[in-house]
Amino acid sequence: MTLNVGKEVAALERMTVSELRERYVELFNETTRARNRTWLIRRIIWRMQSLEQGGLSERAIRQANELANNTDLRVTAPRESKLSPDAGERAKTVACRIEGNSRVPLPGTVITRRYKGRLIQVKVVRDGFEFEGELFKSLSAVAKQVTGSHWNGYKFFNLNKEGESR
């Protein structure tokens, strides 16, 4: 069985904090005092991936422990580096033309909408749209998956002609 991270994250996001804490106990065999949803989801997904892929070898664990024991820990944070005074002069802004449908945002953009109390998040990818770990060819297909009935995807996600929500 391969782990579908997108679907697992979507399922975890529908859980309450108490349910997430129970899932944490199932995976880690220890309780947690954490009540931060984002942290719990990230830790649970990390653990699921670790169990799926087999975790670290004994040799890697020994080596990590050895490195940790022989390392001096930094007590203060590093100072922020300051840019050279002429850095602003060297930076240039260049306009570029983007081909394609102007209503569709650039790949990597996450489109969000609240629908019946549920936060819908769709990531724009090069070949379509990713929703809950599945790839869809159109926003209309995503809207149909969410609502169960046909919608114009641009209207459902409230996108105007320039690809921005109103």
In whole angstroms, what is the distance from residue 150 CA to residue 19 CA?
33
- Which range marks the domain in which residue 34 is found? 5-59
Residue 129 within any structural domain of the chain: yes
In whole angstroms, what is the distance from residue 122 CA to residue 141 CA?
11
pLDDT per residue over 120-136, tens digit each? 999 999 889 999 989 99
- With pLDDT > 90 as the criterion, what percentage of the chain qualifies? 49
Residue 67 within any structural domain of the chain: no
Residue 106 within any structural domain of the chain: yes
Same domain, 45 and 104: no
Average pLDDT over every residue of 7-36: 94
pLDDT per residue over 104-122, tens digit each? 888 889 999 999 988 999 9
The confidence score (pLDDT) of residue 124 equals 92
**What number of other Cβ atoms are within 10 A of residue 20's Cβ?**
22
In whole angstroms, what is the distance from residue 54 CA to residue 94 CA?
46
Same domain, 102 and 161: yes
Same domain, 106 and 154: yes
With a cut of 80, say whether residue 165 has pLDDT above it.
Answer: no
CB 113 within 8 A of CB 131: no
In whole angstroms, what is the distance from residue 75 CA to residue 123 CA?
40
The confidence score (pLDDT) of residue 84 equals 59
Same domain, 106 and 157: yes
Of 118, 112, 101, 111, which is closest to residue 161 (Cα–Cα)? 101
Residue 92 within any structural domain of the chain: no
The confidence score (pLDDT) of residue 159 equals 85
In whole angstroms, what is the distance from residue 166 CA to residue 162 CA?
10
**What number of other Cβ atoms are within 10 A of residue 47's Cβ?**
16
Kindly state the DSSP code that residue 30 receives in the 8-state scheme. S
How many structural domains comprise the chain? Answer: 2
pLDDT per residue over 52-94, tens digit each? 888 788 899 899 888 888 877 777 777 776 665 555 566 677 7
**What number of other Cβ atoms are within 10 A of residue 100's Cβ?**
8
To which residue do tokens 């930076």 refer? 91
Residue 65 within any structural domain of the chain: no
Same domain, 55 and 102: no
Same domain, 50 and 102: no
For strand 134-136 and strand 110-115, is the pairing parallel, antiparallel, or unpaired?
unpaired
Residue 151 within any structural domain of the chain: yes
CB 11 within 8 A of CB 20: no
Same domain, 163 and 109: yes
**What number of other Cβ atoms are within 10 A of residue 121's Cβ?**
14
Residue 90 within any structural domain of the chain: no
